[in-house]
């Protein structure tokens, strides 16, 4: 029997490709202030973008809440996540790539897509921190393990070279980009040393390389355990907009059409 749902909606062209809801910001009698994760950072990102006159409430897309029937569909299919719905619901989607640049090794989508050749996973992470899931690592097609304190130049070089190889090995119909900011210097849980400028450059690099191949990209903001990450995420979105990489009608952009190179030339 075909399942009907209200989750899918027509999005007018006047809306930005930014999905947000105030319900993303978690509060509970002030106890959220004791948690290392800034549970209100998404609202802060939106407020920063409003202050910069980039967008207003009427330009945002608000996701609809899944009904109990919707969730039962997911659970009866052994916790299929949103990406698997793409294969069933969206015409033309048969191959996907996950670019996971959160500081931690992914082990959720790895386990979800274990053995699924439609999904290619590239993961760049600090090899010394949680979760160290050896079983989940089997699903990572391109694994880039980093050492404590990895800095901008080495990090960006490895990200660029491995995205290039990933897209050559598996050209997808859609890319899901996990843009974690727990790689930021000073993040005690991430253990890396990437500067705010490095994070902005990383996001630009990913968008240029993916959009340059005419592939749609979905960016999600995940880990990031410092209060200043909200400002960095907002700055990155502003940079992507200024470069024409995002927007209501962003044209496809060549990976090589920037006035400045993505990375400085290698130093002998």
User: Which residue did the predictor score with more confidence, 77 or 143?
Assistant: 143
Are residues 20 and 62 in contact, defined by beta-carbon separation less than 8 angstroms? yes
CA 197 vs CA 110, 115, 232: distances in Å: 29, 37, 8
H-run or E-run covering 72: helix 68-76
Preceding amide of 131 cis, omega within 30: yes
pLDDT digits 0-9 by tens, 57-78 = 999 998 887 776 677 665 555 5
Which pLDDT value is given to residue 215? 96
Mean pLDDT to the nearest integer, 114-125: 95
Q: What is the mean pLDDT of residues 123-149?
A: 97
pLDDT grade, residue 250 (50/70/90)?
A: low
Question: Of 31-45, 96-110, 190-204, 232-246, which range is least confident?
Answer: 31-45
User: How far is 26 from 33, CA to CA, in rounded Å?
Assistant: 10
Q: Say what the pLDDT of residue 266 is.
A: 37
Beta partners for 97?
120, 175
Give the Cα separation of 108 and 139 in Å (integer).
10
Is residue 227 within 8 A of residue 38, CB to CB? The reply is yes
114 pLDDT above the threshold of 50: yes
Band the pLDDT of 264: cuts 50, 70, 90: very low
pTM (whole model) above 0.85: no
Distance CA 179, CA 101 (A): 6
Level-2 CATH architecture, domain 17-241? 3-Layer(aba) Sandwich (3.40)
Average pLDDT score over the chain: 85
Annotated domain spans of the chain: 17-241
194 or 4: whose pLDDT is higher?
194
pLDDT (tens digit per residue) in 198-232: 999 999 999 999 999 999 999 999 888 898 999 99
CB 72 within 8 A of CB 151: no
pLDDT of residue 257: 47
pLDDT of residue 34: 61
Residue 255 has pLDDT above 60, yes or no: no
């Amino acid at each position: 029997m075909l399942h009907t749902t209200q989750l899918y909606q027509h999005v007018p062209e006047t809306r930005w490709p930014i999905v947000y809801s105030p319900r993303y910001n978690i509060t509970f009698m002030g106890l959220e202030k004791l948690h290392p994760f800034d549970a209100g950072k998404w609202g802060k990102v939106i407020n920063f973008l409003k202050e910069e006159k980039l967008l207003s409430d009427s330009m945002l897309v608000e996701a609809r809440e899944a009904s109990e029937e919707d969730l039962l569909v997911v659970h009866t299919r052994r916790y299929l996540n949103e990406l698997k719905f793409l294969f069933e619901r969206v015409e033309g989607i048969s191959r996907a790539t996950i670019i996971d640049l959160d500081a931690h090794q992914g082990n959720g989508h790895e386990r979800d897509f274990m053995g699924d050749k439609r999904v290619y996973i590239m993961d760049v992470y600090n090899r010394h921190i949680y979760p160290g899931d050896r079983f989940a690592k089997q699903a990572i097609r391109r694994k880039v393990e980093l050492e404590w304190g990895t800095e901008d130049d080495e990090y960006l070089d490895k990200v660029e070279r491995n995205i290039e190889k990933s897209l050559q090995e598996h050209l997808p119909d859609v890319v899901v980009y996990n843009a974690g900011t727990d790689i930021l210097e000073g993040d005690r849980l991430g253990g890396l040393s990437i500067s705010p400028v490095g994070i902005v450059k990383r996001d630009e690099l990913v968008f240029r390389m993916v959009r340059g191949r005419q592939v749609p990209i979905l960016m999600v903001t995940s880990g990031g355990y410092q209060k200043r990450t909200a400002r960095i995420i907002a700055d990155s979105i502003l940079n992507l907009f200024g470069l024409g990489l995002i927007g209501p009608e962003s044209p496809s952009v060549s990976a090589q059409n920037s006035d400045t190179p993505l990375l400085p030339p290698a130093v002998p």
